[in-house]
Homo-oligomer: A and B are copies of this chain.
Amino acid sequence: TRNIELAVVAGDGIGTEVVDQGLAVLEAAVAGEDVAISTTPFELGAKRWHATGETLTDADLESIRAHDAILLGAIGDPTVPSGVLERGLLLKLRFALDHYVNLRPGKLYPGVTSPLADPGDVDFVVVREGTEGPYGGVGGAVRVGTPHEIATEVSVNTAFGVERVVRDAFARAQARPRQHLTLVHKHNVLVHAGHLWRRTVDAINAEFPDVTTDYLHVDAATIFLTTNPSRFDVIVTDNLFGDIITDQAAAITGGIGLAASGNINPDRTAPSMFEPVHGSAPDIAGQGKADPTATVLSVAMLLDHLGLSEASARVEAAVAADLVERGGRVRSTAEVGRDLAQRIAR
């Protein structure tokens, strides 16, 4: 029996609700396989911060590190100053565990209505860099609160960091039928970072001669995501541009209720972390209204990452089948989870 140790960070708001269903589906997916999953809940997020002032201690981090993977619900709460939990917990996990590939599929499943009139066949994946760019917390402010305040934010990009994520993106493009990679950046303005990204894509292309590439400025990318999203196969981009375009990608493929993500450490030097793209949605928390589908699809990514590709396929197939029949039906968070688990069990 293979033992899988899963760290569970349910987090804030609807996090607990969707994670509960994600775990139920996970259990259903591995039933019948020679796999035992044990979960360790981590009490992290707004409640913990209010009680102790802690976001993520070294002890938490070391304990999480000892797991095979992490399932995360959502982080963030209006009662906590903006940035405290995001940077002190969510981004700290991504950075400390070297999740340099933030993988976000943009797939329009049959049965799902896109807000686009004519979306076409949308099936791409965004490889968002996860450990650099303007997310590193470099920058600061002086004379805060005075008319002479100056605040800076520094985007840091290294050859090391760009090269590894670009190589990962090429490998993913190579494994897909269309074998196409689009770099999204803004090299006509952010010339230093942009040229590093562009040179890196050109250089790594030599290792993947079957993969064709093109380039879009991030502003133009938002246009094509509106007018012709089926043109995309694999997109590689920096941390901030990736944040922006993956929310847009979620919107055009049925909303953040369906958008999954994996924060992946491809070198497996630390556990990877799987989480829905959506946030903690305090406005609907505790009401059983949240759609757990994004979390369930993140569980499929988790299973795939752990090599349980058949279980992963079962989860994705259950979601796909559910989406076809879903229509306008309103179900609670638990009902969706139960239906998906039952589908897998059948």
Contacts and interface: CB of A to CB of B under 8 A. Distances in A.
A242 B234 CA distance: 25
Interface in A30-57: none
Given A83-B187, A153-B155, A157-B150, A141 B219 contact: no
A87 B219 CA distance: 16
A243 B219 contact: yes
Contact of A223 (B143, B151, B250): B250
Contacts of A244: 218-219, 222, 244
B186 A149 contact: no
Nearest to A116: B115
A154 B190 CA distance: 9
A82 B222 contact: no
Contacts of A156: 150, 152
A292 interface: no
A5 to B, nearest CB: 30
Identical copies in the complex:
2
A83 B217 CA distance: 12
A154 B154 contact: yes
Contacts of A252: 226
A3 interface: no
A63 interface: no
A226 B240 contact: no
Interface residues of A, number: 68
A66 to B, nearest CB: 28
A332 to B, nearest CB: 22
A152 B115 contact: no
A256 B217 CA distance: 14
A227 interface: yes
Contacts of A189: 83, 86-87, 91, 134-135, 240, 243
Given A149-B159, A153-B190, 20 more contacts: A82-B194, A82-B198, A87-B188, A115-B116, A115-B118, A116-B226, A139-B192, A141-B196, A143-B159, A148-B158, A148-B159, A148-B160, A151-B158, A151-B196, A152-B192, A154-B154, A155-B155, A222-B222, A222-B251, A223-B247
30 contacts: A114-B117, A115-B117, A115-B118, A115-B227, A134-B155, A139-B155, A139-B192, A143-B159, A144-B196, A145-B199, A148-B158, A149-B196, A150-B158, A151-B157, A151-B158, A151-B192, A151-B196, A152-B155, A153-B193, A154-B154, A186-B240, A189-B243, A219-B244, A219-B248, A222-B247, A222-B248, A223-B248, A225-B248, A226-B248, A226-B251
Shortest beta-carbon contacts, A-B, top 7: A219-B247, A226-B251, A222-B248, A149-B159, A151-B192, A83-B191, A86-B188
Interface of A: 76, 82-83, 86-87, 91, 114-118, 134-135, 139-141, 143-160, 163, 186-196, 198-199, 218-220, 222-223, 225-227, 240, 243-248, 250-252, 255-256
